[in-house]
Structure 1
Amino acid sequence: MTLTTTAVVAVAATLVAVTQAGSTPSPSPSPRPERPPYNGTGPTMLRFGCHQLVIDRIDPLVNPGAIPSPHQHQIVGGDAFNASMRLSDISASSSCTTCSYSDDFSNYWTSNLYFGARNGSYKRVPQIPNHTDWDGLDEFTPRTNGGLVAYYVSPGKSEVTAFKPGFRMFVGDAALRSAPQGRWNLSSQTCFRCYSGPDFGGDRLPPCWDPAVDTQHLPDRPCYGIRSNVVFPTCWDGKNLDSADHKSHVAYPVEGPHVFDGINTAKECPPSHPVKIPQVMVEIIYDTTVFNDPSEWPEDGSQPFVLSTGDRSGYSQHADYVFGWKGDALQRGMDAGCIAAHCPGLATQTVEEATRCKVRELVDEKYEGWLDTLPGDPPQPPVTASSALTPCPTTPRGKGNGKGKREGKGKAEGNGKG
């Protein structure tokens, strides 16, 4: 997202709230009451970069203790991350974090993206740092290596309740291979943006708002990079830090999933989940430009990219979250009425400090360069049609080190500009 403070105000004045189940956001301007944003008393939108912590095939939520887990993830955040993580205050067991807010020891993890060449080989798509228009105010995010940008939104002071130590949640469904069917239209909760030109071309509207560049599936045309956005639910049952499926303790508002507008989170939460929580969103950018040679795409013309779940549709994109902000830091941030990467009272660190935070890989396998298979050769689960079903396969398949290399085939390196 590339909005200046002024642009945020303008966009906020035109965004249309989703008020009916199954409705979709419209990019058409629609007036709404003006409110002074981000002035110390209004909404908060934290937007900050997190450097990559590790790439590994473990998942302490869905496959706790499994080394390896079925598919690969990229992880950011605190160094307490491990194959197993108890319902505890991970800020107390972390010594460093890869995020710019140095009190955020949370962990966030998502799928990786691979290019599937015509000859059957695979190569991981490199990530590039997100850009920012807050010149001089966010020197961290544009200098990260891999990782993601995290967002936290609150409508105003005392409007949301920060997560409690030990809280975690999961959004998405790693078994999906088609548009999810269910009560809600989730196209505003996970989407891919196909940049239409160099330097983040076409990035005009908030995530999942622009049908010209946003799709719930992986784009079916060459892009100047692909951005993935995943938005978490905004209501909590107020009791459980987790649930068996890592989803049932959170819910969408009565009016349906709230689109990301940087200001609001939920009008009304259901009685079963009455507590309004911050809207969390993660944003990842993949540099697909070096893979835009059509002679290397599948002969049938289908798009060549595949998530580390083994999914070519993109519908299986998902994200995991384990809360780890220190003390009351997140609540103070949510009540502060501030914006972006600098919020009064919240400590920050330099990207140099963040890059020194690391954890070792637990699964010894090759995942860079040309591979014969995706890491782990992930087993393909029965395809699901609803994001409310089992989120991930539970049985890993061997180590799947993918050591085969097909030099001279697949896509050659380019200049990164397409």
Structure 2
Amino acid sequence: MWTRRLRSRARLLSVFLPVTLGLSLVVALGLVGVGRTAPASQDRPDRPASREYVDIASVAPAPTPQAGPGASTGSYAEDCGRNTEGHRNADNVVFSPGVPGGAHHTHDYIGNRSTNAHSTNASLASAATTCEDGDHSAYYWPVVRRLDRAGADADAVGGGRDGNTGAIVTAASVRVEFRGNPAGPVVAMPRFLRLVTGDPVAHLNSLPQVHAQWGCSGHPERFTTRYTRCPAGSGVTRTFDFPSCWDGLNIDSADHRGHVVFPAAGGICPQNTFPVPQLRVTVGYDLPPGTPYAVDSFPEQVRDPKTDHALFVNVMTERQMAQVVGCLNEGRNCRGDR
């Protein structure tokens, strides 16, 4: 009996042992392959894949619209600082009013010193500002982080809890500029107008509204939707161009976009919309060449560079906005001061 059992076990081993070893070998080779070829975003969901970075030398300059005979060719620049005060939170008063942490990523703020989830038009109007010309408007965008350093908010909402790891980088420069329209004069923005540029859910959005513009200082008008690698002596930049064709009625809309849209080529605004001063904010960072970095995003957006975005709430007084409009329509280059 025992002899028959041993022979039976021997036959089973002769059949299954080679199969088991073969499967083990396949699995082992597969794991080795995954370790070699998987993109960084799969190995580390908090880090973008290497394909999301591009050398600025390979980025072609963007075309510059030619101004027509009735263009508003002036500009108005103001100094609102670069958030050395550390005004940051994971709120979004435009998209998630009244919801602390509703952004699930951390925002940098300049201008209005009080902006948070609970801000109202009245509270914004009465708060202090970092802008030298007394502009109380709120300007904000997601922070950029160095991935080679640990962040102080690893256990906080908007930081590590939402997949946004790394040390927040304070901007080396921030330029706020209002520009005219290449097709004609502009009209004043209404007070408390909300503007949004970019799409924070572009990674998964089937119809993304991408307006991310990554670049490098010293390489004007070279923009890409991927993170840029900059040469020595040049820093990473983000350029936020906001929509500038207003419906003439509303300061906000259900999707926070429909009341102000982007012009067509040449600056032409769609029918029944009116050109307002076009806001451009350029943020620069001093990052040594080769430094790994990424923007904050919603967890499921895996820090995709295409998700870069910015928001603006206009809290200028009528007098301040009239000054901006006058500079643009008269072709003057102005700088705001108190």
TM-score range, shorter chain: 0.5 to 0.7
Residue identity over aligned pairs, in percent, reads: 21
Number of equivalences: 256
Alignment correspondent of 2:186:
160
Alignment correspondent of 1:15:
none
Query: In the alignment, is the contact (CA less than 8 A) between 1:125 and 1:286 conserved in 2?
Result: no
Alignment correspondent of 1:93:
126
Alignment correspondent of 1:127:
170
Alignment correspondent of 1:114:
145
Query: In the alignment, is the contact (CA less than 8 A) between 1:231 and 1:279 conserved in 2?
Result: yes
Segments of 5+ residues of structure 2 without an aligned counterpart are 1-58, 155-164
Inter-partner Cα distance in structure 1 for 2:228 and 2:206: 17
Deviation, 1:317, is: 0.6
Alignment correspondent of 1:301:
none
Deviation, 1:252, is: 1.8
Q: 1:83 aligns with which of 92, 97, 117?
A: 117
Inter-partner Cα distance in structure 2 for 1:151 and 1:166: 18
Inter-partner Cα distance in structure 2 for 1:242 and 1:33: 29
Task: Give CA-to-partner distance per residue, 1:6-63, whole Å, 9 cap, x none.
Answer: xxxxxxxxxxxxxxxxxx9956799x689899xxxx6321122212251111111111
Inter-partner Cα distance in structure 1 for 2:313 and 2:63: 36
1:54-203 matched pairs, under 5 angstroms = 54-69=87-102, 70-86=104-120, 88=121, 92-94=125-127, 96-102=128-134, 104-117=135-148, 122-130=165-173, 148-155=174-181, 159-177=185-203, 189-194=211-216, 200=217, 203=218
- Where 1:233 maps in the other structure, the secondary structure is coil
Residue 180 and residue 318 in structure 1: after superposition, are their counterparts in 2 closer, same or farther (change >3 A)?
farther
Alignment correspondent of 1:49:
79
Alignment correspondent of 1:298:
none
Alignment correspondent of 1:394:
none
Deviation, 1:279, is: 0.4
Inter-partner Cα distance in structure 2 for 1:233 and 1:33: 18
TM-score, length-normalised on structure 1?
0.53
Alignment correspondent of 1:239:
249
Alignment correspondent of 1:341:
335
Q: 1:323 aligns with which of 295, 307, 314?
A: 314
- Where 1:190 maps in the other structure, the secondary structure is coil
Query: In the alignment, is the contact (CA less than 8 A) between 1:90 and 1:324 conserved in 2?
Result: no
Residue 220 and residue 335 in structure 1: after superposition, are their counterparts in 2 closer, same or farther (change >3 A)?
same
Residue 338 and residue 127 in structure 1: after superposition, are their counterparts in 2 closer, same or farther (change >3 A)?
farther
> Higher helix proportion, which one?
2
Query: In the alignment, is the contact (CA less than 8 A) between 1:193 and 1:227 conserved in 2?
Result: yes
Q: Which amino acid letter does the alignment assign opposite residue 59 of structure 1?
A: N
TM-score, length-normalised on structure 2?
0.65
Inter-partner Cα distance in structure 2 for 1:79 and 1:118: 28
Taking only aligned residues, the RMSD between alpha carbons, in angstroms, comes to 3.5
1:200-239 matched pairs, under 5 angstroms = 200=217, 203-205=218-220, 209-210=221-222, 214-219=223-228, 224-239=234-249
Residue 193 and residue 204 in structure 1: after superposition, are their counterparts in 2 closer, same or farther (change >3 A)?
closer
Q: Which amino acid letter does the alignment assign opposite residue 110 of structure 1?
A: W
Deviation, 1:153, is: 1.0
Residue 164 and residue 80 in structure 1: after superposition, are their counterparts in 2 closer, same or farther (change >3 A)?
farther
Inter-partner Cα distance in structure 2 for 1:78 and 1:329: 15
Q: Which amino acid letter does the alignment assign opposite residue 224 of structure 2?
A: T
Alignment correspondent of 2:296:
308
Q: Which amino acid letter does the alignment assign opposite residue 85 of structure 1?
A: S
Deviation, 1:287, is: 1.9
Point out the structure with max Rg over C-alpha.
Answer: 2
